[in-house]
Amino acid sequence: MPTRQICIIGGTFNPIHMGHLQMARSAQAQCMADEVWFMPTGQPWQKPNADIAPADTRKKLVELAIEGVHSWRVEPFEIEHQGPTYTADTLEKLTDLHPNHKFFFVIGADQLDNLTSWKHWQSLFDYARIGVVERSQWGEFKVPEALKRHLLQDRLFRIPMPSVNVSSTQIRRQFELLASPNTEMAETARFKLEANLPAAVFKYLLKHPVYGRAQP
Strand partners of residue 44: 85
Regions in the chain scoring below 70 on pLDDT: 1-2, 43-50, 136-139, 213-216
Residue 139: predicted pLDDT: 62
Residue 126: predicted pLDDT: 97
For residue 42, the tally of other CB atoms under 10 A from its CB is 22
Residue 214: predicted pLDDT: 42
Cα separation, 34 vs 5, whole angstroms: 5
Residue 141: predicted pLDDT: 82
Residue 179: predicted pLDDT: 87
Cα separation, 200 vs 77, whole angstroms: 24
State the greatest distance between any 2 C-alpha atoms of the chain, in Å, as a whole number: 59
Flag whether the pTM goes above 0.85. yes
Kindly report the length of the chain: 216
Residue 215: predicted pLDDT: 42
